[in-house]
């Protein structure tokens, strides 16, 4: 990704030319390896799991990865208390149970939880507002890690600040654990509108845009030129049905995280497979109708507008 | 001569990058999710992604058997990373019931280099690709553990803990790489595959219907 492909076979090959980047000995932890990993997940569904048994159900349903966490967001909401990184034993159990990538959540700013997760061999870390933040001012400096990070964002400026810290993948925040897709919709539309707006600006105006977005001007220029984020954009937060997933894809998501929506529903295996199929065929209403039949009870939802501000996860992080 | 129509299996994975690389090499790229779309192509790319996800979706949507039949009939195919796994006849370190399209007489080991923290970039010399070594990106990549007599080894890892492992192969009209040329902007592997598709189309009088099912049994 990144560089445009040469127009003809005779054209120079940009990568082959940059020999200083092309080490003869294998190099790990590069931006391209981190961002490229997320490129492989596109068009797929990443599912929250709390046990190896759930991870196996997710893999069998066609998940592209699983997200290991201590409690799904709906339970964190119901039970309260401080939500932290999972028990290492549980993470290792999940890694051992499946062959697909395993992600795990660290608290915002908790760089030691991130160090532990890297040492355990997780494939991606979600620096997540669903857990209780560990730092009220700073996110983790992510560039220094070998393991890649995904971070949540509510708008373009927040997405670019996370990328400047080293995030190799962005997801909408949504309002996790509610089964209500309204906040994810708001965030996807906001990020998309922000990207479109940059495309209409000239070079001079991009400086002001960078100031207003509170993001580095180089990243702002790159988004204006590409017409998209320089990393993969997924959606997350409140997705509970195949139609929710398909709607997010049509709004520009490149893939879907599903949290409580699967294992808080009546038939997790069936619902998980249905959401996977609806994500691949998000533009085909006949397929979505077919896979939406007979799924049993969806998770019980929460009306986001009745949530007090102190219980809103999307306002965590900045 | 019209541009060859080359499909990219678009169930999941880095489809967009392969479409762009094929277009840059003068092919007409099209996403393939349904048997009738497969029937219209001169060649097929199986992209990087999650092989377990792709094969489950192919099976559920009635595409797995048409894919196998097309490869048996001689449809040219190129697989990168997960695509290499799907074109292999035998897979190690996969879920017990993992199916593949098959066609390549190789045994492939999934996630052979390790987990994501072991993913890497390196230079790889590729037989049949002029212009010096490629800059190769390996992401939770497989390698070829064992290759049958009809398989030509195109490239191996140089240096590091996996020195000498086979990461690029060709057998007839099938090509596979462990790494992702679609992520680098270097389209020489795609050039090689587009040439192969053109040659196959010229050799087959029926040309464009190698992807089509003989019996017309598409759902």
ipTM of the complex: 0.93
Q: How many CB atoms lie within 10 A of CB A190?
A: 18
As a whole number of angstroms, the distance between CA B2 and CA A207 comes to 46
| Beta carbons of A209 and A220 less than 8 angstroms apart | yes
pLDDT in tens, B90-146: 999 998 888 999 999 999 999 999 999 999 999 999 999 999 999 999 999 999 999
Of A72 and A271, the one with more pLDDT: A271
Would you place residue A73 in the very low, low, confident or very high pLDDT band (cuts 50, 70, 90)? Answer: confident
Pairing of strands B134-138, B120-124: antiparallel
Would you place residue B219 in the very low, low, confident or very high pLDDT band (cuts 50, 70, 90)? Answer: very low
As a whole number of angstroms, the distance between CA B206 and CA B74 comes to 12
Phi, psi of B63 (to 5 degrees): -105, -15
Amino acid A1: pLDDT: 36
B195 touching chain A per CB within 8 A: no
CB contact under 8 A, B123 and A44: no
Phi, psi of A73 (to 5 degrees): -55, -35
As a whole number of angstroms, the distance between CA B40 and CA B4 comes to 11
pLDDT of residue B1 exceeding 90, the answer is: no
Lookup: tokens for B161:
């803990």
Q: Which of A3, A5, A40 sits opposite B139 (nearest CB)?
A: A40
E strands, chain B, in order: 5-9, 28-32, 43-46, 77-80, 88-92, 104-109, 120-124, 134-138, 143-147, 152-156, 166-171, 174-177
Of A11 and B215, the one with more pLDDT: B215
Q: Give the closest-approach CA distance of A260 to chain B in angstroms.
A: 21
- Three-state DSSP at A65 gives strand
As a whole number of angstroms, the distance between CA A27 and CA A34 comes to 12
Kindly state the DSSP code that residue B48 receives in the 8-state scheme: S
Q: Give the closest-approach CA distance of B215 to chain A in angstroms.
A: 25
pLDDT in tens, A7-24: 333 333 333 333 334 556
CATH architecture assignment, domain B5-203: 3-Layer(aba) Sandwich (3.40)
Secondary structure tally for chain B: helices H, strands E: 6, 12
pLDDT in tens, A151-177: 999 999 999 999 999 999 999 998 888
| Beta carbons of B152 and B106 less than 8 angstroms apart | no
Exposed / middle / buried, residue A298 (Cβ in 10 Å: 0-12, 13-18, 19+):
middle
Secondary structure tally for chain A: helices H, strands E: 14, 9
Residues 6+ apart with CB under 8 A from A282: A245, A246, A249, A250, A288
- Which residue is associated with the tokens 């702002």? A220
Helix (H) or strand (E) holding A128: strand A124-128
pLDDT in tens, B131-189: 999 999 999 999 999 999 999 999 999 888 889 999 999 999 999 999 999 999 999 99
B60 touching chain A per CB within 8 A: yes
Q: Among all residues of chain B, which has the CA nearest to that of A19?
A: B135
To the nearest whole number, what is the mean pLDDT of chain A? Answer: 90
As a whole number of angstroms, the distance between CA A54 and CA B12 comes to 22
CB contact under 8 A, B11 and A147: no
Would you place residue B210 in the very low, low, confident or very high pLDDT band (cuts 50, 70, 90)? Answer: low
Q: Among all residues of chain A, which has the CA nearest to that of B55?
A: A62
- Name chain A contacts of B138, Cβ cutoff 8 Å: 26, 33
Of A80 and B25, the one with more pLDDT: B25
Residues 6+ apart with CB under 8 A from A236: A152, A171, A172, A173, A174, A176, A184, A256, A257, A259
Pairing of strands B77-80, B43-46: parallel
| Beta carbons of B46 and B9 less than 8 angstroms apart | yes
A21 touching chain B per CB within 8 A: yes
Alpha-carbon B140 to chain mean position: 16
Lookup: tokens for A202:
């000239």
- Please state the pTM of the whole predicted model: 0.92
């Amino acid at each position: 990704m990144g560089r445009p492909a040469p127009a003809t076979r005779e054209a120079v090959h940009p990568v082959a030319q940059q020999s200083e980047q092309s080490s003869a000995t294998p190099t790990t932890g590069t931006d391209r390896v981190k961002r490229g990993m997320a490129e492989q997940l596109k068009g797929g569904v990443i599912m929250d799991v709390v046990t190896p048994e759930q991870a196996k159900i997710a893999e069998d349903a066609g998940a592209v990865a699983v997200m290991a966490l201590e409690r799904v967001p709906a339970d964190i909401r119901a039970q309260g208390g401080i939500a932290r990184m999972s028990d290492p034993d549980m993470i290792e159990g999940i890694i051992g149970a499946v062959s697909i990538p395993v992600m795990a959540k660290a608290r915002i700013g908790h760089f030691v939880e991130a160090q532990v997760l890297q040492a355990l061999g997780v494939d991606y870390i979600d620096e997540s507002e669903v857990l209780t933040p560990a730092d009220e001012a700073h996110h983790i400096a992510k560039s220094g890690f070998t393991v890649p990070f995904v971070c949540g964002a509510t708008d373009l400026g927040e997405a670019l600040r996370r990328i400047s810290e080293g995030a190799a993948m962005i997801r909408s925040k949504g309002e996790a654990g509610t089964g209500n897709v309204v906040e994810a919709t708001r965030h996807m539309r906001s990020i998309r509108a922000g990207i479109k707006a940059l495309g209409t600006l000239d070079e001079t105006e991009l400086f002001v845009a960078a100031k207003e977005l509170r993001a580095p001007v180089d990243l702002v220029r790159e988004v204006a030129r590409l017409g998209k984020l320089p990393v993969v954009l997924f959606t997350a937060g409140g997705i509970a049905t195949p139609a929710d997933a398909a709607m997010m894809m049509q709004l520009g998501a490149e893939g879907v995280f599903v949290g409580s929506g699967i294992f808080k529903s009546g038939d997790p295996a069936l619902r998980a497979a249905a959401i996977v199929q609806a994500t691949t065929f998000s533009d085909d209403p006949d397929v979505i109708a077919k896979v939406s039949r007979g799924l049993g009870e969806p998770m019980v939802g929460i009306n986001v507008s009745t949530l007090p501000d102190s219980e809103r996860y999307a306002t965590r992080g900045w | 001569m019209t541009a060859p129509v080359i499909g990219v299996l678009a169930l999941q994975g880095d489809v967009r990058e392969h479409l762009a690389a094929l277009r840059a090499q003068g092919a007409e790229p099209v996403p393939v999710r349904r048997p009738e779309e497969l029937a219209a192509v001169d060649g097929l790319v199986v992209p990087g992604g999650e092989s377990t996800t792709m094969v489950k979706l192919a099976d559920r949507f009635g595409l797995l058997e048409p894919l196998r039949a097309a490869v048996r009939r001689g449809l040219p195919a190129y697989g990168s990373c997960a695509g290499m796994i799907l074109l292999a006849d035998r897979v190690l370190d996969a879920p017990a019931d993992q199916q593949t399209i098959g066609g390549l007489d190789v045994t492939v080991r999934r996630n052979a280099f390790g987990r994501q923290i072991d993913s890497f970039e390196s230079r790889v010399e590729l037989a049949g690709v002029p212009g010096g070594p490629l800059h190769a990106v390996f992401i939770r990549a497989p390698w070829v553990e064992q290759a049958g007599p009809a398989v030509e080894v195109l490239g191996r890892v140089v240096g590091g803990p996996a020195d000498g492992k086979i990461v690029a192969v060709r057998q007839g009209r099938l090509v596979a790489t462990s790494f992702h040329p679609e992520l680098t902007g270097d389209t020489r592997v795609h050039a090689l595959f587009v040439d192969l598709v053109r040659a196959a189309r010229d050799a087959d009088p029926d040309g464009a219907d190698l992807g089509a099912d003989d019996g017309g049994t598409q759902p």
